[in-house]
Structure 1
Amino acid sequence: MEVPAKNFTLRWQHSIEKIDWEEDYSIAGEWLYLSSARVRGSGAGMEPPPGSFYAKGVWRYRPQPDMRWTRQLLLVRSEFARDYELCLNGACQPLSRWVPLGAGHTALLPCALG
């Protein structure tokens, strides 16, 4: 899948607690950089990390330095949970718009924009 953007948000819903999570990424060469994240509540085993702050119903935080850089995101998808959403310029679409849900695992990798 190819997405012509340097920044994007990945949104998903916890399959048991039904709480939305969002992560903001930038493409930096061969890396994905996680700059910030939000969670709209908390539940068993999914508490916001230390340093989070709560405002207008949302926990906001900046991930720890060792969690910010990655070469790929491996997303496990299932027909039994709401699909991930990819948000570009504030508009969110289900990942199935680009990659069929039946694919099971989906890897998001940075690539150079040409």
Structure 2
Amino acid sequence: MTGCLMAGATMLALASGEQFTLEWTHSVERQAWRETWEVTQDHRLHLVGAAVKGSGAGMEPGPGGYFQDGWWVWTPDLPPVPSLVLAASGKTPSAWTLCAADCLQIGATSGAPVTVAPCAGAD
């Protein structure tokens, strides 16, 4: 099944079951945070992996976390969601970097929140 993922006004080709990553710098701890998401067959987003470069305020690794290649890595146990809403304050240390086949920067400047969601009716 082929489909797409919308990140604000940008459309990315993404098949059901395909994964993408979101990476950013934590606003307080100034450490990298990365999440791996998967588009489910019912057009939802499922968090299948998370990793942080350090620990601190709001950055503790989840249950079962282990250290690998400089990152604390774990598999969150959360249900799929219909979309993600990312803040775009322009005041954080980094933009959000969304990578699928290609990477794009989102939310680097102040503006409305950016919604990331599977395309409506994509198949």
**Do residues 11 (structure 1) and 29 (structure 2) align?**
no
Q: Is the 8 A contact 2:24 2:33 kept in 1?
A: yes
Q: How far is 1:54 from its partner? A: 0.7
**Do residues 109 (structure 1) and 117 (structure 2) align?**
yes
Distance (whole Å) between structure 2 residues aligned to residue 83 and residue 108 of structure 1: 14
2:49 alignment partner, SS class: strand
1:85-100 residue pairs with structure 2 within 5 A? 85-89=97-101, 91-95=102-106
Percent of aligned pairs with the same residue? 31
* TM-score normalised by the chain length of structure 2: 0.77
Distance (whole Å) between structure 2 residues aligned to residue 74 and residue 107 of structure 1: 4
Instruction: Report the structure, 1 or 2, having the larger helix content.
Output: 1
CA RMSD of superposed structures (Å): 1.9
Distance (whole Å) between structure 1 residues aligned to residue 79 and residue 68 of structure 2: 23
* TM-score normalised by the chain length of structure 1: 0.82
Aligned counterpart in structure 1 of residue 56 of structure 2, from 7, 26, 43: 43
Q: Is the 8 A contact 1:83 1:95 kept in 2?
A: yes
Distance (whole Å) between structure 1 residues aligned to residue 13 and residue 34 of structure 2: 20
1:49 alignment partner, SS class: coil
Structure 1 unaligned residues grouped into runs of 5+: none
Structure 2 unaligned residues grouped into runs of 5+: 1-8
Q: Is the 8 A contact 2:66 2:73 kept in 1?
A: yes
Letter in 2 for 1:8: F
